Amino acid sequence: MQRTEVLQPVKDYIAQQALDGRDVGLDETTPLLEWGVINSLEIVRLLSFIQKQFNVAVPNEKIIADHFTNLTSITDLVLELVERQEKGIDH
């Protein structure tokens, strides 16, 4: 899976759900948690989106702030989980 295949849908989801459809300069390094773009409730919704969109579940031990800091960290997490799933590796 290519990076853009993860990044763009996640960016679009956050723009639609957390920012009411406004991109407002959202990029890979926008500090989502620090700026309050996403909060704990939004993370729960994002986890559901990730599971539906990419067919991977985020294990509890991966649900830490470092993985939701910005679009880059979320994309990296999803790519890691997809790769592990393709290789048949648990968590």
Tell me: the pLDDT tens digits for 54-80?
A: 999 999 999 999 999 999 999 999 999
Dihedral over Cα of 53, 59, 60, 66: its sign: negative
- List the chain residues with pLDDT less than 70: 91
State the pLDDT at residue 89: 78
Residue 52 neighbours by CB distance under 10 Å: 9
Dihedral over Cα of 55, 79, 58, 15: its sign: negative
Report the distance separating Cα 33 and Cα 5, nearest Å: 23
3-17 vs 71-87: helix crossing angle, rounded to 10: 130
State the pLDDT at residue 87: 87
Q: Which domains are present in the chain?
A: 3-87 (1.10.1200.10)
Give pTM, 2 decimals. 0.92
